[in-house]
Amino acid sequence: MWSLLSWIVFGFVVGLIARFIMPGHQHIGFIRTTLLGIGGSFVGGFLSALIFGGNWRNPGPSSWIGAIIGAVVLLVLSETVFSRRR
């Protein structure tokens, strides 16, 4: 239970940071921000553990940085995909 809740909070914080870094206004809500952060956490956290070393199950500073970078990449990809549909 606490593990799921911690992933949701971690994902929301990472998603907010990614939205703050990305210029412009993103038309996404609370749930999509959280999912963006969680997805970025999986992608970026795993890649940062491979590059910098460390344990991907135990988040550290490199996992935070990797999660934010992963969330920004996912945000850029989602904005390009959804902007073409409008």
Q: What is the pLDDT of residues 30-57, one digit of tens each?
A: 898 899 888 888 877 677 767 766 665 5
**pTM of the shown model:** 0.77
Amino acid 62: pLDDT: 62
Diameter of the chain measured on Cα atoms: 41
Contacts of 82 (CB under 8 A, 6+ apart): none
Number of structural domains found in the chain: 1
pLDDT exceeds 70 at position 65: yes
Domain that holds residue 12: 2-85
Reported as a pLDDT band with limits 50, 70 and 90, residue 20 is very high
